[in-house]
Amino acid sequence: MRSRKAGFSCAGLCGSLLVVVFAGCASEPSGESLAGRSDVDLEPVPSPQGDEPRDARPLPPLSTGPGARPAPPPTPPQGATSFLSADEPWLQWGEEEEEEEEEEEEERELEEGDIYRVLGDGVLLNLNLYRGLQVIDISDLSNTEIIGRLPVHGRPVEMYVDGDRAVILLNEWSGYEGHPEKFIVKDRTGGTILLVDIADRQHPKLLSQRYIPGNIQTSRYANGADKDSLYVAASEWQYNQTPNGWDYVLKSTVKSFDVAPNKLVSKSEITLGGDVTDVHAEGDVLLVARGNASWVNESSQVAVVDISNIDGSMTLRDEITVPGFVRSQFHMDLRGDVLRVFSGSGTSSISRPSTARCFRSAMRTSPG
């Protein structure tokens, strides 16, 4: 590489000497600067009389008068410099809401249950209809093993795991419950909640149990930094006596519990009508949707329940009625004090279209 550079330099030097020789042989200098030619663009050549550079190109004469200076560029129109498309306000608003929800979840996270949980030490907790709570070692998938059991009976509904405790919800449970002040027992049939110690994976231990009348529909678990709460929605058919006889009515209840380290403490109970279809939990609000189980005049009620108290107690703030059926938790929400509900036919009929309705809720006010 160096020999090529040296050869190139020698050739350039020889070429320069030839230019000087031929330039000196000219009879008279023409006085035309090379810079004045349109086909050559050269840098200014230093003057031999001084150190200041001299531009070979002649300077244009200065213009005078109103047109001496070029017109300034047009001023851009005043106003917004950025714009959003039609769909971006929704996305941006949703993202802001997600950030707010994340801040709320850092203080008190609302969880949904499942019938199994995977723990961090390679252990799977599984609720089985016939074998109860199973503790399964899945650290080696080629050699899984049941390492612990807790004999419980009932149809699995949901389960939560918080540290070394498991909260289990079952339906179709039957058993006996002792009276706290009298030497009697009561026959119970319905749902139940179990608080189980799973610190010893091979020997899970029952810590506390609570009875739930009817069938548990769904629940939410509030996992806080200092206190934990459980909210359970259940439905039950009951006979109510009227002046004309007896009516068979569907009743719904929402019960809340303070999940203490070693026991479940009952806190509140709200009695509602209809059959619970779903529950939506967000922040300090619990929305409970219920249907009237009617094919003719189908309607739904949505209760707004305040769960801001971290000890598990609840307050019914508001309740609205909408025509049709609220299909799931994703068909209702509360933004600020505006309750939005999307309801429609409980069947595939197109005679009753689905509609969205907004209501001003009393969630942010004290109960009257």
CATH number at residue 161: 2.40.10
Structural domain contains residue 147: yes
- What pLDDT is stored for residue 149 in this prediction? 97
In a domain, 66, yes or no: no
In a domain, 298, yes or no: no
Q: Which domain holds residue 151?
A: 108-168+195-209
Whole-prediction pTM: 0.65
| Residue 161 within a domain | yes
Q: How many CA atoms lie within 13 A of 221 on its CB side?
A: 22
2's CB contacts (< 8 A; 6+ apart) are none
Strand ranges inside 57-181, DSSP E: 108-111, 116-118, 123-128, 132-137, 145-150, 155-162, 165-178
What's the pLDDT at 273? 82
Phi/psi of residue 98, nearest 5 degrees:
-65, -40
Of 235, 267, 229, the residue nearest 249 (C-alpha)? 235
Mean pLDDT by 10 residues, the chain (368 residues): 44 43 42 41 43 51 55 54 39 41 60 93 94 96 96 95 96 85 86 97 96 94 92 90 82 95 96 88 91 74 93 92 87 88 71 73 51
Number of other residues whose CB lies within 10 A of the CB of residue 167:
23
Distance CA 191, CA 173 (A): 6
A 10 A CB-CB count for 267 gives 17
**Coil, strand, or helix at residue 266?**
strand
Question: Quick one: which of 297, 311, 348 has its CA closest to 327?
Answer: 348
Asked if the structure places residue 153 within a domain, the reply is: yes
Number of domains in the chain: 1
The pair of structure tokens assigned to 251 is 């009743």
The runs of H, that is alpha helices, within the chain are 2-24, 88-107
Flag whether 119 is in a domain: yes
